[in-house]
Amino acid sequence: MPLLKTILFLLILGLLGVGLYNLRKENLALEHGIEELTASLSGVEEENKMLQDRISYFRIPENLVKELKSQFNYREADEELIIVVPKTNP
């Protein structure tokens, strides 16, 4: 009878050990996921700050007109426009 109790005790102890091992492995995987999400969050926060800065910049009408002129070669009716093309080397 004591041998049966010892074997049962060792079996239960082994099952608990396997369960703890699986929990620890899952915990490490979750911690790794948290680290990845934290890194992703910091990247998104940085992009959000950049976009907020650009929104603030474009809220000023003069800046909006300046960008329109520089990107699309826009000119007002009383303005003259000179486009300078850099010389290319053959």
Helix (H, G, I), strand (E, B) or coil at 28: helix
The label of the residue with tokens 């009878």 reads 1
Helix (H, G, I), strand (E, B) or coil at 90: coil
Q: Residue 14 carries which DSSP code?
A: H
- Could you report the per-residue pLDDT of 26-35, keeping only the tens digit for each? 999 999 999 9
pLDDT higher than threshold 90 for residue 90: no
Shortest CA distance to 45 belongs to which of 37, 56, 57?
37
User: What pLDDT shows up at residue 85?
Assistant: 85
User: What pLDDT shows up at residue 68?
Assistant: 85
- Tell me the percentage of the chain whose pLDDT exceeds 90: 67
Domain ranges of the chain: 2-72
Length of the chain: 90
- Residue 73 and residue 81 in contact, taking contact as beta carbons nearer than 8 Å: yes
- Could you report the per-residue pLDDT of 62-88, keeping only the tens digit for each? 998 888 888 887 777 888 777 788 888
